[in-house]
């Protein structure tokens, strides 16, 4: 199933970006999509105008060589993909990237994570994209597993009854299933639940609730949450993948990063916002806490109808 048609890969043109290119080229191949490589370079010093052209040519040549080498590693024929390269100079990369997306109707942006050496979380440009980019954002980290062993997970919150949230959850499940099918064929679905009133009600002399009543309330919450999760899963076509459901009790901003590390997840798909129409509300607190603890690749989605505060021009 084709989910994306017009991909944008962000490059700086100077560092080794083979990990990100592998993921971008693989996505373009699997979706039969166009791929544009956008090189974002710092503004060239005005006192050296004669060197600017040579500098930009060197960035373009290096990027072309990296693409060719990565395609050879992936055993892809040169010319098998529709690939173009563009270069811009700007001191505000996140704004420039989002403007380029809006101007050229890209439907997915792919970028190597700014964090390195096994660090968790994401830095300024990455976070700006997660907060303000109107299309899905794929932040790449190195994947050492072979394609057939890549582990894909999706984080689902079935509690919200808003139509936008339900539609977002189904879209994430479809994307995750499709991605897993192109890799190991197995998908991990993780969802967290809790009964936050338990610690207040347990042993409270003013309420005097019995242990049996409290346990029944906790069990009802757990079963209701799982039933909503099953309803979402059953309503999504995931016939191409085997899936494992992980129904965890606790806070998602603690459990999801821990789950990702313990299960050696390579790619996590999650939503960064469940609702639209809230001015200035571009990423939920729980989502922000989760992404700052992740050390795997991340695909982040927003609901249909989200509008970036960045204007195209």
| pLDDT above 80 for 127 | yes
Identify whether residues 155 and 128 lie together within a single domain: no
Identify whether residues 117 and 249 lie together within a single domain: no
H-helix segments, the chain: 18-31, 49-73, 93-104, 124-132, 163-181, 198-201, 211-234, 252-262, 285-291
Residue where a domain stops, chosen among 83, 115, 142: 142
For residue 191, the enclosing domain spans: 143-313
What single-letter DSSP state applies at residue 279? Answer: T
pLDDT above 70 covers a percentage of the chain that reads 91
Q: Looking at residue 119, which CATH number applies to its domain?
A: 3.40.50.620
Q: Give me the number of domains the chain comprises.
A: 2
pLDDT tier, 281 (very low <50, low <70, confident <90, very high otherwise): very low
| pLDDT above 90 for 209 | no
| pLDDT above 60 for 82 | yes
For residues 137 and 111, give the distance between their C-alpha atoms in angstroms, rounded to a whole number: 8
| pLDDT above 80 for 218 | yes
* Nearest residue to 76 (alpha-carbon basis) of 38, 25, 6, 112: 25
Identify whether residues 91 and 148 lie together within a single domain: no
Q: Rounded mean pLDDT of 61-65?
A: 93
Identify whether residues 131 and 193 lie together within a single domain: no
Identify whether residues 162 and 63 lie together within a single domain: no
Higher pLDDT residue, 61 or 274? 61
pLDDT tier, 282 (very low <50, low <70, confident <90, very high otherwise): very low
What would the pLDDT profile of 165-193 be if each residue is shown by its tens digit?
A: 899 999 999 999 999 998 888 999 999 99
Q: Rounded mean pLDDT of 90-106?
A: 93
Q: Return the pLDDT at 117.
A: 62
Identify whether residues 302 and 165 lie together within a single domain: yes
Q: Return the pLDDT at 198.
A: 63
Q: Looking at residue 288, which CATH number applies to its domain?
A: 3.40.50.12370
pLDDT tier, 203 (very low <50, low <70, confident <90, very high otherwise): low
| pLDDT above 60 for 237 | yes
Cβ 138 vs Cβ 23: under 8 Å: yes
For residues 170 and 238, give the distance between their C-alpha atoms in angstroms, rounded to a whole number: 10
| pLDDT above 60 for 280 | no
Q: Rounded mean pLDDT of 256-283?
A: 78
pLDDT tier, 279 (very low <50, low <70, confident <90, very high otherwise): very low
pLDDT above 90 covers a percentage of the chain that reads 60
Q: Rounded mean pLDDT of 256-285?
A: 78
Average pLDDT, the chain: 88
Residue where a domain stops, chosen among 89, 121, 142: 142
Give the residue carrying structure tokens 């993780």.
190
Identify whether residues 64 and 173 lie together within a single domain: no
> Strand pairing partners for 9?
37, 110
Identify whether residues 158 and 194 lie together within a single domain: yes
Which pTM value belongs to this model?
Answer: 0.90
| pLDDT above 90 for 17 | no
Identify whether residues 52 and 164 lie together within a single domain: no
Identify whether residues 214 and 122 lie together within a single domain: no
Q: Return the pLDDT at 277.
A: 52
Identify whether residues 193 and 240 lie together within a single domain: yes
Identify whether residues 189 and 61 lie together within a single domain: no
Residue where a domain stops, chosen among 142, 158, 189: 142
| pLDDT above 80 for 226 | yes
Q: Return the pLDDT at 215.
A: 85
pLDDT tier, 283 (very low <50, low <70, confident <90, very high otherwise): low
Q: Which value, to the nearest 10 degrees, does the dihedral of the CA atoms of residues 178, 179, 181, 184 take?
A: -160
| pLDDT above 60 for 275 | no
């Amino acid at each position: 199933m084709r989910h994306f048609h017009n991909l944008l890969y962000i490059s700086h043109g100077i560092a080794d970006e083979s990990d990100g290119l592998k993921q971008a080229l693989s996505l373009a191949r699997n979706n039969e999509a166009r791929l544009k490589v956008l090189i974002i370079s710092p503004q060239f010093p005005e006192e050296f105008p004669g060197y600017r052209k040579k500098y930009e040519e060197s960035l373009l040549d290096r990027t072309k060589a990296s693409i060719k080498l990565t395609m050879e590693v992936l055993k892809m024929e040169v010319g098998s993909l529709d690939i173009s390269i563009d270069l811009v100079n700007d001191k505000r990369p996140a704004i420039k990237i989002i403007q380029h997306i809006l101007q050229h109707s890209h439907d997915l942006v792919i970028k190597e994570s700014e964090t390195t050496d096994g660090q968790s979380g994401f830095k300024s440009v990455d976070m700006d994209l997660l907060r303000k980019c109107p299309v899905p954002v794929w932040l790449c980290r190195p994947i050492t597993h072979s394609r057939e062993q890549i582990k894909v997970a999706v984080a689902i919150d079935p509690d919200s009854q808003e139509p936008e949230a339900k539609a977002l959850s189904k879209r994430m499940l479809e994307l995750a299933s499709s991605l897993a099918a192109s890799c190991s064929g197995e998908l991990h679905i993780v969802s967290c639940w809790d009964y936050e009133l338990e610690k207040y009600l347990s042993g409270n002399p003013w309420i005097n609730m019995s242990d049996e009543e409290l346990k029944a309330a906790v069990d009802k919450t757990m079963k209701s949450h799982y039933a909503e999760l099953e309803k979402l899963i059953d309503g999504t076509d995931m016939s191409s993948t085997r899936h494992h459901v992980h129904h965890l009790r606790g806070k998602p901003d603690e459990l999801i990063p821990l789950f990702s590390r313990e299960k050696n997840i390579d790619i996590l798909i999650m939503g960064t916002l469940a609702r639209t129409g809230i001015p200035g509300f571009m990423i939920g607190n729980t989502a922000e806490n989760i992404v700052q603890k992740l050390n795997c690749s991340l695909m982040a989605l927003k609901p249909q109808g989200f509008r970036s505060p960045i204007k195209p021009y």
